[in-house]
Structure 1
Amino acid sequence: MSEREHVQPSVQPVRDKWQMVIGDDHRGASSGEWIDVVDPGLGEPFAQVPQASDRDVDDAVRAARASFDDLRWRGWSADRRSQVLWRIAELIEQNAAELAELETRNQGMPLAFAKAHVFPGIARTFRYYAGAVERIEGRAVELRSPGTRGFHAYTRREPVGVAGVIVPWNGPLLSLSWKLAPALAAGCSTVVKPAEETPLTAIRLAEICLEAGVPPGVVNVVTGVGHVTGAAIAAHLDVDKVSFTGSTEVGRSLLQAAQGNLKKLTLELGGKSPVVVFEDADLSSAIPGAAAAIFSNAGQICTAGSRLLVHESVIDEVVEGLARAADAVRLGYRTDEQAQIGPLISHRQRERVSGYVEQGIRDGAEVVTGGTAPAREGFFYRPTVVKGVDPTMSLVREEIFGPVVAVMPFADESQAVAMANDTDYGLAGSVWTADIDRAHRVAAQIRAGRIGVNVHASPDVAMPTGGFKQSGWGRELGPDGLDPYLETKSVYVAVDA
């Protein structure tokens, strides 16, 4: 198929207009306003969702608060909540074809990539936290202070309250599962705000939750642009906690919005992750590993390995191999079974990525391959390898969120560590070497929340993920992913000595 050939969309029927889920109602915006949902592979709108106002957000928060206060979910036994979470996982699997259709048409990732790397983790996350419900427990404490002999003391773990869940567009349904599953496991009620670019699967998941037996009002979904709808959730005085994944810039604005009631925040923010390749690395693994780290999902991954640091003795071989890998990547519309990456999410995002590359060229960088958009429908951008960069360039310092990697040489281990840490971010990284002692040593020194050794590791539901420095606060996944949705209460009971 040529790059210029028009690709027809799937014949799978999709609703033209989607409604928000508030309590047990499906409704449009109180203002009557709608926003377009665009297929990034074609550059054309194919559906609409409501543009929620402050009033709509307030309705959703009130529905969530009522469901929390009357114990219709958090008051259930752990076993009953666990069964419902397990049922959600089953329904996700039963509706996988429909969900994949919505997600890939809305986000642009190829169906093959979604089925292999994204969707298996969604049901798995709900099953993991279905089991975690049974492990939420306090502890008995023997007091140490004078005069406390006649006390029985214990702790309780209780849900934090109403949680605002704000989800990004790069992996909408997977990211939502990382937040919603532990929130429900903890007993919270929620108001979900998906990215305006990719709202459809969040609405569909809310419907699945209702079908699985989650009471109305526990999972509410409001749609709209971030600076209106998301800001209203962040500032709402009856929202107890916000979990957000997105840019560091928006994360900072949430800090301001949360001040009103000092709501708790979990933030997974930007990244500029280093891939460090030493001279003794197995390049037959390191080169494709580095390519996958940056080109998967068209580079639209928070943990993408966008800085490739290579020992000077092998840098030419690595650059040559990486360029070949970039040129071999097949761009394609989501239904192309051979497609490896799809488009960027929007025209605006493609212009942003292109702008970084063009600025890099003006600053003296050299594009080895890529650096252009193919002549075809949609918001595609070619995988791009750039060398001749220095650490002061915006290409190196700022998150691009596209399939662009900047390659830099280093002379020794200490310089490699210094370069890896020369960033405001600290989300992920990887180390490629045959020396296991060095691997552990360097992994311990890189300031990031997740490090792979001879792999740029993908997240697993059992392992926490999150960032150091300006890459965020708190952790998602694993046992740590439950903690942000729980409060610890100490109880002292005076009894006879």
Structure 2
Amino acid sequence: MTDYPYPRVGLLIDGEWIYDRPGGEDIVNPSDESVIGRTTHATEADLDRALAAAERGFAVWRKVSPPDRSALLHRVADLVRERIELFAATITREQGKPLADARAEVIRSASFLDWDAEQLLRRYGRIVPSAHPMQQLVVREPVGPVAAFTPWNVPLSAPSRKISGSLAAGCSVIIKPAGETPATTCLFAQCFMDAGLPPGVINIVHGVAGDISTKLVLSPVIRMVTLTGSVGVGKQLSRLAAEGVKPALMELGGHAPVLIDGDVDPANVAAQAVVAKFRMAGQICASPTRFLIHRGVYDAFVTAFAAGADALTVGDGFEEGIGMGPLVNGRRVIEMERLVADAVARGARIAAGGRRVGNRGHFYAPTVLADVPLDAEAMWTEPFGPLALCTPVDDMDQALRIANDAHVGLAAYVFTNAIDKVDHLWSELHCGVVATNSFAVSGAEAEFGGVKESGVGREGGEQGLDAYQVTKTVLKQMVRA
């Protein structure tokens, strides 16, 4: 896998790759801190060209028939699967996750394309009955060029969600990928070009995030904004979008609670928790983080959870048998240290981990904290790292109150063998996605998104194209000969 060369990172504007701009920033392998490439920053003129290209691309793409758009998305999905090893090697090199996780992300990303390719064929309009001698038609049309911003933790599946949805709806898109993981998005865009996408329908720009987002979102060319990222960035882009009265699809942060009742097998739930919590080193918005555990099984769960965390092998994602890779950069390691120190100072106990690993690379041990008080900062600040917080509760009603007392609400998890409690808890949890007796997350076929400050709108499922389309009502007067 390491024989795959790291791809060049360039701007993609109107079907042309551009590599020769001044500026840019180093791209660093988080496992060994080596420089593996460099981004190419867009100039002001480049951004103007990208906007003009997206406008022209939209004029062409919106007129392509739904069956033809569907066929192209299927071709792209096939190319992504054919190039799985190149994608996986690039993801692991840029982001650090183990190869198995990188391959799983590639397969998941292709599924988004296939789903949207079929869903766009089911975007029916309506004929509305009228009291007057006329027809009233409601048709769906693409909203226009889209500005998309994607994160470093899922460098293929996040762009896939947004590009697939945009193109399926008939929109063009300008995407700004994270500076840590730009090559994955470049490889993805090349699949579209190889599948025959017209120039200008996809454009990629790199540079200072704040400057690019301000330029793109405030441009009258852009008619819709979508982000997967932090709550703070989501608020800023939402304010910019509001200035132009543009819709914004925001998939933002989470701080997922896990409610564990006293009637479960604590060792079994702990084994599942180890896999779910430390997947991608906990750097995922739906990562289970706040474990609210019935006192009857608390000690047994924490003991099993800590043992499982200690058993994980931490290392370079290219190595065999690695259970968890590095954090994406040194700032995340420092944040883990800060949150752990704060919790311990307030009375928490380190049951597993709680330390850096090695002298090179951004590694931090899978960490389980026990007896975490509710005033610990980590209980209310999303760690976005390999940090699990365990707190005992007297019953599930207490767990429910703690779970809902947060400003975010993306994912939540419930473990109980009482069917009445299952229905009560999932209905009362303030979040967008709830998994019961598992740590599953929704796939392409079901909507994903949050409530409160975890975002606005949904990606995937039957509603997945809604954000990228508008309805038009057409009144057709009946004329008699």
Q: Compute the TM-score of the two structures, normalised by the length of structure 2.
A: 0.97
Cα distance, 1:443 vs structure 2: 0.8
Q: Percent identity?
A: 34
CA distance in structure 2 between the aligned counterparts of 1:169 and 1:472, rounded to whole angstroms: 18
Letter in 2 for 1:80: D
1:431 partner SS: strand
Count of residues in correspondence between the two structures = 480
Match of 1:280 among 263, 288, 309: 263
CA distance in structure 1 between the aligned counterparts of 2:120 and 2:78, rounded to whole angstroms: 17
Cα distance, 1:12 vs structure 2: 2.4
2:47 partner SS: helix
| Bigger Cα displacement from structure 2, 255-264 vs 459-468 | 255-264
Give a deviation string over 1:434-481, Cα, whole Å, max 9, x none. Answer: 112211111111111110110121221001010011100000111111
Letter in 1 for 2:3: V
Match of 2:138 among 150, 155, 168: 155
Letter in 1 for 2:282: G
RMSD: 1.5
The aligned residue for residue 172 of structure 2 is: 189
1:481 partner SS: coil
CA distance in structure 2 between the aligned counterparts of 1:51 and 1:149, rounded to whole angstroms: 57
Give a deviation string over 1:277-308, Cα, whole Å, max 9, x none. Answer: 10001323311222223211000010111100
Give a deviation string over 1:370-397, Cα, whole Å, max 9, x none. Answer: 1111114210110111122222221100
Cα distance, 1:401 vs structure 2: 0.3
Contact 1:29 1:52 in 2 (8 A): no
CA distance in structure 1 between the aligned counterparts of 2:324 and 2:209, rounded to whole angstroms: 26
Match of 2:113 among 101, 126, 131: 126
Cα distance, 1:363 vs structure 2: 2.6
Given the superposition, is the C-alpha separation of residues 235 and 360 from structure 1 closer, same or farther in structure 2, using an over 3 Å criterion?
A: farther
2:326 partner SS: coil
CA distance in structure 2 between the aligned counterparts of 1:54 and 1:353, rounded to whole angstroms: 37
The aligned residue for residue 40 of structure 2 is: 50
The aligned residue for residue 317 of structure 1 is: 300
Give a deviation string over 1:55-110, Cα, whole Å, max 9, x none. Answer: 322221110011113xx211011111111011001111111111111111111111
The aligned residue for residue 19 of structure 1 is: 10
Letter in 2 for 1:26: W
The aligned residue for residue 124 of structure 2 is: 137
Is 1:353 matched up with 2:336? yes
The aligned residue for residue 172 of structure 1 is: 155
Match of 1:395 among 371, 378, 385: 378
Match of 1:482 among 460, 465, 471: 465
Cα distance, 1:484 vs structure 2: 0.4
Give a deviation string over 1:207-229, Cα, whole Å, max 9, x none. Answer: 11011011010010111232222
The aligned residue for residue 65 of structure 2 is: 77
Contact 2:11 2:17 in 1 (8 A): yes
Alignment of 1:6-405 (within 5 A): 10-15=2-7, 17-28=8-19, 30=21, 32-69=22-59, 72-115=60-103, 117-143=104-130, 148-405=131-388
Letter in 1 for 2:57: S
| Bigger Cα displacement from structure 2, 219-228 vs 203-212 | 219-228
Contact 1:160 1:487 in 2 (8 A): yes
Contact 1:275 1:290 in 2 (8 A): no
CA distance in structure 2 between the aligned counterparts of 1:228 and 1:332, rounded to whole angstroms: 35
CA distance in structure 2 between the aligned counterparts of 1:46 and 1:79, rounded to whole angstroms: 40
Contact 2:138 2:472 in 1 (8 A): yes
Contact 1:282 1:434 in 2 (8 A): no
Contact 2:347 2:373 in 1 (8 A): no
Is 1:431 matched up with 2:414? yes
CA distance in structure 1 between the aligned counterparts of 2:214 and 2:342, rounded to whole angstroms: 32
Cα distance, 1:29 vs structure 2: 6.6
Given the superposition, is the C-alpha separation of residues 426 and 29 from structure 1 closer, same or farther in structure 2, using an over 3 Å criterion?
A: farther
CA distance in structure 1 between the aligned counterparts of 2:20 and 2:149, rounded to whole angstroms: 18
The aligned residue for residue 3 of structure 1 is: none
| Bigger Cα displacement from structure 2, 374-383 vs 470-479 | 374-383
The aligned residue for residue 392 of structure 2 is: 409
| Bigger Cα displacement from structure 2, 363-372 vs 399-408 | 363-372
2:267 partner SS: helix
CA distance in structure 2 between the aligned counterparts of 1:53 and 1:423, rounded to whole angstroms: 40
CA distance in structure 1 between the aligned counterparts of 2:81 and 2:425, rounded to whole angstroms: 40
* Structure 1: 5+ residue stretches without partners: 1-8
CA distance in structure 2 between the aligned counterparts of 1:314 and 1:284, rounded to whole angstroms: 9
Contact 2:266 2:297 in 1 (8 A): no
Contact 2:13 2:200 in 1 (8 A): yes
Letter in 2 for 1:68: F
| Bigger Cα displacement from structure 2, 131-140 vs 301-310 | 131-140
CA distance in structure 1 between the aligned counterparts of 2:64 and 2:327, rounded to whole angstroms: 43
2:26 partner SS: strand
